Amino acid sequence: MELNAIKKPMPCVALLSEGLNMQYLTDAFNEACPGVDLRMGSDLGALEDIDVAVCWFPPHGLLAQLPNLRLVQSLAAGIDHIVADPDLPRQLPLCRIVDTGMAAGMKAYVSWAVVQHHRGMKAYVASSAAGQWQEQDIVSPRRHRVGIAGLGTLGMACAESLASIGYPVRGWSRSAKDALPDGVTGFHGNDQLDAFLSGCDTLVCLLPLTPQTQGFLNAGLFAKLPRGAHLINVGRGDHLVEADLLPALESGQLSAATLDAFSQEPLPQDHPFWGNARILITPHIATRTDRLVIAQQTLANLASLQQGQRPVNLVDLARGY
């Protein structure tokens, strides 16, 4: 879609977030569309000017106050932070970002998370610091099964990467998949969940956060994993019932957890996860969306809508992702 297809002289884009300083997107929008009318912060000017809202946890109720809004654009792959607004104008198109760069970042993070635990890399960091030449047991990746809950854009990319370095990979999704990469076995639906879980030496959560997936990672699920499994959560914090994690680690049902997303972010300083030797915490950095991609997809989607065409990466609100 050509950006000059936008009919107004300049599109008016509101950058809306309760916690994030959206100033960081200014240069990218100006590069994608020099002269674009950008609004952010507490003074949005005349609300009727705003064509599109780019959102990360937008203040509840604000989107409903924009009379000429045509598009709600998530700046991320997920849209849970937008549909949490009880006043979201659900008749408007809501789009998310899908981008090969974001998938590449997630592949790198998940591969690292799997390998660092499976190969005992923490022990090498310690022995290196202590000046010790100390080998750890090497278990072939062929003997370490990795399961990915959520076999969508990001999950499929991670599945392919892990299979390419020798891990037997299984994926779980809502619907059956026709074609899967070599080395990847598919499971789908609640009926096949237990069979999927029983073969996950590492379980990676890459589900979207929906009413059906909230609290997915709980004590009952941990009990269905092989004893000593490693949990990687790169979905959302609310996928995990946090109170269930420490008992599962203490009992040995889980051997470790690598967590990138938390119910409350930043993770509060007094949170019991900090300092636990079995939990590796990263501050929601598994992957990031390129700023220019956000600007380009937003403006192209607006242009599509103005030409009566379907924007890309439109979310199915009935399905919830």
x/- string (CB under 6 A) for ligand NAP, residues 230-249?
Answer: ----xxx-------------
Instruction: DSSP letter for 30, please.
Output: H
Which of 168/186 has CB closer to ligand NAP? 186
Which of 44/106 has CB closer to ligand NAP? 106
- Give the chain's end-to-end CA distance (angstroms, integer): 24
Stretch that binds ligand NAP, among 27-35, 196-204, 282-290, 291-299 (CB under 6 A): 282-290
**How would DSSP label each residue in 85-123?**
-TT--TTS-EE----HHHHHHHHHHHHHHHHHHHTTHHH
282 binding ligand NAP? (CB under 6 A): no
Which amino acid, residue 68? N
In the set 111, 212, 253, 306, which binds ligand NAP (CB under 6 A)?
A: 212
152 binding ligand NAP? (CB under 6 A): yes
User: Which run of H or of E encompasses 165?
Assistant: none
Minimum distance, C-beta of residue 95 to ligand NAP, in the bound complex (Å) = 12
236 is catalytic: yes
Joined together, the tokens standing for residue 52 give: 């599109």
Radius of gyration in angstroms for the set of CA atoms belonging to the chain, rounded to a whole number: 21
Q: Are 298 and 54 in contact (CB under 8 A)?
A: yes
Joined together, the tokens standing for residue 73 give: 């654009």
Minimum distance, C-beta of residue 195 to ligand NAP, in the bound complex (Å) = 14
284 is catalytic: yes
Number of residues that bind ligand NAP (CB under 6 A): 29
Residue-level length of the chain: 321
Stretch that binds ligand NAP, among 194-202, 229-237, 266-274, 297-305 (CB under 6 A): 229-237
Stretch that binds ligand NAP, among 28-36, 51-59, 75-83, 299-307 (CB under 6 A): 75-83
User: Which run of H or of E encompasses 233?
Assistant: strand 229-233
Minimum distance, C-beta of residue 66 to ligand NAP, in the bound complex (Å) = 24
Instruction: Identify residues 103-122 at the interface with ligand NAP (CB under 6 A).
Output: none
Calculated CA dihedral for residues 22, 26, 32, 33, nearest 10 degrees:
110
Query: Which residue in this structure is represented by tokens 């299979």?
Result: 163
Q: Give the footprint of ligand NAP on this chain (CB under 6 A).
A: 76-78, 150-155, 172-175, 206-210, 212-213, 234-236, 260-261, 284, 286-287, 321
